Homo-oligomer: A and B are copies of this chain.
Amino acid sequence: MLKPREQVSQKQIAAAAGVSQATVSLVLSGSNVTSAETRARVLRAAEKLRYRPNLLVHGIQTGKTRTIGVMAPPYDFYWSEVLYGIHDVLSANDHVMITVWPAHHGPGPRRRHGPGMDELQQIHRLVDRRVDGVILWPPFASLFQQHVQEFVSRNLPVVTIDHELPPEDRADYVGNDEQAGGKMVAEHLHALGHRRFAHFAGASVFNWATARRSAFEDALRGLPGTSCFTIEGPIGDSSPAIVPAGQILDHPSRPTAIFAATDPFARALYAAAAERNLVIGKDVSIVGFSDHDFAAILTPPLTTVRQNGYAIGRAAAEIVLGRSTGSITEIEPQIVRMPVELVVRQSTGPVRND
């Protein structure tokens, strides 16, 4: 067996203070049963040796590691905000997070031993370290739904963000109010006089995408004289979203207003519009979703639906912690839908009478 790094243990403090290890434990855990002088000697020795408790031990004893697994990368501005939210709540509750993701874009061949093998390994890294719960982002939750059972079957609390799993999966959910968002967009554009719409939808494997889509389409159906077609974009936005973006603009009955399911999709529309010499906000109005950091920088600045990633992250962390500590006891999945807000900028304008 490997030699453990020299570590200061209670045993050494005991030796230094001339008491038993059990006494050291008592003193350090703050109990009042020891004599003042013993206590002082022990504390002094502990400080001098720079003792720090071993949470691994505490973990195997109590079954709680005060550690949460987070399967969500700093994918973009929104997800970084989500991570900040999770982090801050965990920190405030003396917890910590282990972050694991699918591999990014390393050099060399991407070895996979079958679909989802990476993800299964990552799950096991979390389980083997006995995390108290996990938080998942949509690509994980939707693409690897079977893997979620690895957690649930071990009674590990699971919270998904922006992707609601079926109730039998026993996962809590925190997301944005997609319903309200889609509706806001429809009403905003309609109020500007638009009647011919298009929706540049997110991949239908994602709950948020289908929710956003149906909310928008449903709202339009309630508004007389409107028409709308929908084109689905790629999964992830590294893929060439410009192709479907072009298809939308080249559509026989070109829409005067387009609702892009994400800000990056909106960006693809900007590029496609530029190629066709269409002026955004005049020839065609565009709305995004998320209010990414770049949304306000685009020319023209993008009208979009602001999601509060930070609040989402906080809510998710609060739920895992609640499950882990037992302060949340309901068996039914908890559902949180965070309000969103329409941020009107210059990419939307009144319809042109042509």
Contacts and interface: CB of A to CB of B under 8 A. Distances in A.
Interface in A128-160: 128-130, 153-155
A74 B97 CA distance: 14
Copies in the complex: 2
Interface string A42-54: 0000000010111
Nearest to A55: B128
Interface in A91-131: 91-92, 94, 96-101, 103-106, 118, 121-122, 124-130
Contact of A298 (B88, B121, B297): B297
Interface string A142-184: 0000000000011100000000000000000000000000000
B7 A63 contact: yes
Interface stretch (A79-87, A200-208, A215-223, A250-258): A79-87
A84 B75 CA distance: 9
A57 interface: yes
B52 A60 contact: no
A2 B64 contact: yes
Contact of A88 (B4, B53, B96, B106): B106
A42 to B, nearest CB: 19
A59 interface: yes
Contacts of A6: 155
Contacts of A84: 73-74, 101, 104-105
B96 A97 contact: no
Contacts of A52: 124, 127-128
Contact of A100 (B96, B121, B130, B154): B96
Contacts of A298: 297
A106 B129 contact: no
Which of A73, A85, A130, A310: most chain B Cβ within 10 A? A130
A7 B130 CA distance: 10
A55 B127 CA distance: 9
A25 to B, nearest CB: 12
B63 A60 contact: no
Contacts of A121: 91
Contacts of A105: 84, 310
B94 A97 contact: no
A3 to B, nearest CB: 7
B98 A62 contact: no
Contacts of A124: 52
A12 to B, nearest CB: 14
- Interchain residue pairs A-B with the least CB separation, the first 9: A4-B63, A74-B74, A74-B80, A84-B104, A2-B62, A5-B63, A55-B128, A56-B56, A56-B59
Interface of A: 1-7, 50, 52-57, 59-65, 67, 73-75, 79-80, 83-85, 87-88, 91-92, 94, 96-101, 103-106, 118, 121-122, 124-130, 153-155, 267, 293-294, 297-299, 310, 314
13 contacts: A4-B62, A5-B155, A7-B63, A56-B65, A56-B130, A57-B60, A65-B129, A67-B98, A87-B101, A91-B100, A91-B103, A293-B294, A297-B297
